[in-house]
A = this chain, B = another copy of it.
Amino acid sequence: MKKLINGADSVVSDALTGLAAAHPELRVDVAKRIVTRAGGPRRGKVGLVSGGGSGHEPLHAGFVGHGMLDAACPGEIFTSPVPDQLIEATNAVNGGAGVLHIVKNYTGDVLNFEMAAELCAEDGVEVATVLVNDDVAVQDSLFTAGRRGTGATLFVEKIAGALAEGGAPLDEVASVGNEVNARSRSFGVALSACTTPTAGKPTFELGEGEIELGIGIHGEPGRVRAPMAPAREIVRVAMDAIHEDLPLSGDTLVLVNGMGGTPLIELYVVFAEVAAYLGERGARISRSLVGDYVTSLDMQGFSVTVCRLSEELTRLWDAPVQTPALRWGR
């Protein structure tokens, strides 16, 4: 294993130290592992908190800022943040209008966010939760009851964040988050396994000419192993799985996401195939992202996420956002 780290134990802290140095517009508490906007909570605005295991960068800390999250809580690599972190973050961003928790559907995350929400509620903070479960690859998996949450998480964070920035109340912000999740589907493919710093070796074995279809973002098993194939065929498998679950038509928001070890040139090749697939079915790519957004350390591969847009969701997607990983419109 060769990694640009100082030691397996300090990766998360060292990376947060770097995040703080690069982004003075964020307040990064390295010891407590809480990233918030430097300005503090805005009175009367719903606060948005997300979090999850590290190793999926820029998720979630890269999405803290105007128009998106108010706080992110990174856990250890591939490990949920703890309730204390989540409680402190929730209190830190509470501007009196309640706080929305955005949670990817992994058992540890769900339990810890639930516990934090209960304890915050006992202290009089109103908390609502959006559970993201967009990954159509498998029903139940390692770490998950039901579907896993992946790329749609950032759609939820962006769109709910825009509504919250505009002053909407907690129930509406939660409602639009749930709507985005319901309209979104994802599917991931691995060309290689990822290597965690503590394990020091790949989390699973893939043969020289083999890929894993339906992979999870921690390397959890997907649907099936298959021989390596042209991008066009691989994309077809992924898009068929999505289209069977949620027929694709009309305006869509498409994310072609790199898993961390995939060059951008390959992601654009994949995007071309996704565009062709949607075009054949009369669906239109109205908005899109291509790049590393929800990663799995150094894994080679990609995921594709499609959200069926409405006019209102498009408007909220287009609203100004100022975060390390997404910036536009201001």
Chain A contacts to B: CB under 8 angstroms: 2-7, 11-12, 14-19, 21-22, 54-55, 57-58, 62, 191-192, 208-209, 211, 228, 230-232, 234, 260-273, 275, 285, 288, 290, 292, 295, 297-298, 300-302, 324, 327-330
Contact = CB atoms under 8 A, between A and B. Distances in A.
24 contacts: A4-B262, A4-B270, A5-B230, A6-B230, A6-B232, A6-B269, A7-B230, A14-B231, A14-B269, A15-B265, A18-B269, A18-B272, A21-B275, A22-B290, A55-B263, A57-B264, A57-B265, A57-B268, A62-B264, A261-B262, A261-B263, A263-B298, A265-B297, A292-B292
A55 B265 contact: yes
Contacts of A192: 2
Closest A-B pairs by Cβ, 10 of them: A18-B268, A18-B272, A21-B275, A18-B271, A4-B266, A57-B264, A15-B268, A17-B272, A260-B263, A2-B191
When all copies of this chain in the complex are counted, the total is 2
A290 B230 contact: no
Contacts of A14: 231, 268-269, 272
Given A4-B270, A58-B264, A18 B290 contact: yes
A120 B232 CA distance: 40
A22 to B, nearest CB: 5
A62 B263 CA distance: 13
Given A2-B192, A17-B272, A21-B272, 6 more contacts: A3-B191, A4-B234, A18-B290, A57-B263, A263-B298, A264-B295
A330 B328 CA distance: 7
A88 to B, nearest CB: 22
Nearest to A195: B263
Nearest to A298: B263
Give the most central of A18, A230, A262, A292: most B CB within 10 Å.
A18
Contacts of A4: 191, 231, 234, 262, 266-267, 269-270, 301-302
Contacts of A15: 265-266, 268-269, 272
Contact of A18 (B55, B209, B228, B275): B275
B209 A3 contact: no
Contacts of A265: 11-12, 15, 54-55, 57, 297
